Amino acid sequence: MDSCIFCKIANHEIPGKIIYEDDICMAFLDLSQTTDGHTLVIPKKHFAHILEVDSQTLAHMMEVVQKVALQIEKQLHAKGFNVLTNMNEIAGQTVHHFHIHIIPRYSDQDGYQ
């Protein structure tokens, strides 16, 4: 997908604050930083959303979610996480390249509802 921003990050065509990368997927900091350390895990191959991605890639991505969350817990002392994906505009999806949000939580007043 030529115009897809996450394909461009995956191909290193535009910069991202990458915190994990392998042949299948990549984790990088979300621009918005909803909370400190807010991270996105994406497949390198373009899939629009969770119902398009193949189960092998999805399983691998979830392993990476776990690895990255553990790293954030240790480094940033997060007390918990919201792990989620939005599918289609009606659910709030704005970038149509499948991604999983890892949103660290620090207190019940960290600004994320």
Contacting residues toward Zn ion, per CB under 5 A: 1, 4, 6-7, 46, 97
Query: Among residues 23 and 90, whose Cβ is nearest to ligand 5GP?
Result: 90
| Structural element, H or E, at residue 6 | helix 5-10
Total residues at interface with ligand 5GP (CB under 6 A): 12
Site string for ligand 5GP, 64-103 (x = CB under 6 A): ----------------------x-----xxxx--------
Active site residue 99: yes
Q: How far is the CB of 44 from Zn ion (least distance, A)?
A: 9
Verify binding: residue 62, ligand 5GP, rule CB under 6 A.
no
Q: Environment class of residue 73 by beta-carbon count within 10 Å: exposed (0-12), middle (13-18) or buried (19+)?
A: middle
Q: What span, in angstroms and rounded, lies between the C-alpha atoms of 90 and 85?
A: 12
Q: What span, in angstroms and rounded, lies between the C-alpha atoms of 9 and 42?
A: 10
Copy the structure tokens of residue 69: 């969350």
Residues catalogued as catalytic: 99
